[in-house]
């Protein structure tokens, strides 16, 4: 079971939340579809209930820098309870990735940004990025991501709706699963 990749993803999600909303030393709850957790952990076919049992007994998830993580099955998703000391750890010890700071800042200040403007932010970090037009009828209009995952390892799925442009950030595996 790849708990290291999972802990990094939790840390990345908490950091994104802190950039968007600011830091408060309080519990953060994240929700993962069972299929996404199976992929992150390198498992196959586990249900949310099975993942809850497995994760609540995994010692590396009880003793790491994020504090004692707790897990609860909620339908086909697993709720991850990150305690206040874990949220504080992310705030105090995890550097803010420059690209993530810039892309979030753009969306906060440009409610109807264009795909060209979004791609301009990617291009300012590397010319080697992809901007894929999503098929007609899909939930998103574009998927934008770097060739070099060391810049940022996520796929940013962009949707223009009701005069607003929004993004959702997915792991590459999750993006490939639904694209």
Closest CA to 159 of 96, 97, 112: 112
The reported pLDDT for the residue numbered 83 is: 97
Q: Are residues 73 and 148 in the same domain?
A: no
Same domain, 23 and 89: yes
User: Domain containing 11: what range?
Assistant: 3-93
89 and 108 part of one domain: no
Helical H runs in the chain?
Answer: 3-21, 34-41, 48-56, 84-93, 98-109, 115-125, 172-178
pLDDT, residue 163, reads 85
From 6-10, 56-60, 141-145, the region with the lowest mean pLDDT? 56-60
The residue out of 60, 75, 93 marking a domain boundary is 93
- Rounded Cα distance between 86 and 62, Å, is 11
Instruction: Give the model confidence (pLDDT) of 28-80 as tens digits.
Output: 999 999 999 999 999 999 999 999 999 999 988 888 899 999 999 999 999 99
Q: Based on the fold, state whether residues 104 and 60 are members of the same structural domain.
A: no
What's the predicted TM-score (pTM) here? 0.93
- Say how far apart CA 14 and CA 30 lie, in whole Å: 9
Same domain, yes or no: 108 and 161: yes
Residue 28 and residue 54 share a domain: yes
Residues 86, 66: contact at Cβ < 8 Å?
yes
Q: What is the pLDDT of residues 92-141, one digit of tens each?
A: 999 999 999 999 999 999 989 999 999 999 999 999 999 999 999 999 99
My answer on whether 112 and 61 are in the same domain is: no
Q: What's the angle, vertex CA 3, arms to CA 93 and CA 18, rounded to 5?
A: 35
Q: How far is CA 21 from the centre of its chain?
A: 15
Q: Do residues 111 and 64 share a domain? A: no
Residues 108 and 86 in one domain: no
Say how many residues make up the chain: 179
How many CA atoms, within 13 angstroms, populate the side-chain half-sphere of residue 135? 4
Query: Which has more confidence, 163 or 3?
Result: 3
Distance CA 169, CA 146 (A): 13
Domain count, the chain: 2
End position of a domain, from candidates 62, 93, 124: 93
The number of angstroms, rounded, from the C-alpha of 70 to the middle of its chain's C-alpha atoms is: 18
Q: How far, in Å, CA of 151 to CA of 97, rounded?
A: 9
Neighbour-count burial of 4, counting CB atoms closer than 10 A to its CB (0-12 exposed, 13-18 middle, 19+ buried): exposed
Same-domain status, 7 and 89: yes
Give the end of a domain, one of 77, 93, 109: 93
Contact status, residue 172 vs residue 153, Cβ threshold 8 Å: yes
């Amino acid at each position: 079971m790849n708990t290291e990749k999972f802990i990094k993803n939790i840390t990345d999600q908490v950091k994104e939340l802190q950039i968007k909303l600011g830091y408060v030393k309080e519990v953060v709850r994240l929700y993962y579809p069972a299929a996404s957790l199976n992929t992150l952990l390198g498992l196959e076919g586990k249900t949310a209930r099975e993942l809850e049992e497995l994760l609540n007994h995994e010692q590396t998830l009880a003793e790491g820098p994020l504090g004692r993580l707790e897990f609860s099955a909620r339908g086909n998703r697993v709720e991850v309870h990150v305690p206040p000391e874990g949220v504080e750890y992310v705030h105090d010890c995890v550097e803010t990735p420059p690209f993530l700071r810039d892309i979030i800042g753009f969306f906060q200040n440009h409610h109807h940004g264009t795909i060209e403007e979004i791609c301009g932010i990617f291009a300012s970090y590397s010319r080697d990025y992809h901007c894929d037009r999503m098929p007609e009828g899909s939930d998103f209009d574009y998927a934008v991501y770097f060739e070099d995952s060391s810049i940022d390892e996520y796929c940013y799925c962009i949707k223009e709706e009701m005069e607003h442009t929004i993004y959702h950030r997915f792991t590459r595996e999750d993006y490939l699963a639904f694209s």
